[in-house]
Amino acid sequence: MPRYKLTIEYDGGPFQGWQRQENGPSVQGALEQAATKLDGAPVIVQGAGRTDSGVHALGQVAHLDLVKDLAEDKVRDALNFHLKPNPVAVVEAERVDEDFHARFSAVNRAYLYRIIDRRVPLTLDRGQAWRVPKRLDAEAMHAAAQYLIGTHDFTTFRDAQCQAESPVKSIDKASVARLGEEVQITVEARSFLHRQVRSITGSLVEVGVGKWTPKDFKSALDAADRKRCGPVAPPDGLYLTAVDYPPAP
């Protein structure tokens, strides 16, 4: 059976998250329904990561096996046809070896969090960014974010329902930058804990509004205590932007 790697973007607002479930629509479920219509047989779609309810993606990656041997463009276009009217699009379909796995073969994942700091309510970006009504100090937030880089016990930024075996993770890149009235937080790592980026973002905003200093942020991280986490940021502004894999031999 031919295996295809899919690069996917979606608006997470209407979904209960990536993972297939019985109590509401999911991105995985929408893709599996579309793939089953394409292939004429049940298809399982394996994703690179499980985004939460309301979280978006610009570069989610998944793989599937089909009975039919189809051209890559045909797979992309047919899936997009059957995905209507869901706000999900297959950007690219690529034939890969059968040992490729969207989750286990990944070596890096990148997330973006968008914050718009203005008093005026959002219109076009409603549901796509977190509105904070007070101007943020992006430079102080960036300084605090640098303490994330490296290997740490991230218990402070770990959701109570996280099922990971260990709270120890390594973050490779973390930055905060202002673009007009938007503040963008970017974080890259091989893998993340449940709601880790949203927890980090909420605490960085505490720095941005002046409630915490960058040193306070470091102290919260070092404490390895969930009670030291700031308010968890809403899902609206979070995007999975890319999943990277080793280069083909």
DSSP 71: -
User: At what angle are helices 214-223 and 138-145 packed, to 10 degrees?
Assistant: 30
Structure tokens given for 50: 């499980």
- Contact indicator for 105, 246 with CB cutoff of 8 Å: yes
- Contact indicator for 48, 106 with CB cutoff of 8 Å: yes
52 in catalytic set: yes
Q: Which residues of 115-138 are buried (b: 16+ CB within 10 A; e: fewer)?
A: bbbeeeeeeeeebbbbbbeeebbb
Which residue type is seen at 133? P
The residue among 121, 139, 137 whose CA lies nearest residue 129 is: 121
Q: C-alpha 119: how far from its chain's center?
A: 27
Give the whole-angstrom CA distance, residue 193 versus residue 175. Answer: 18
Out of 11, 39, 52, 236, pick the active-site residue. 52
Positions marked catalytic: 52
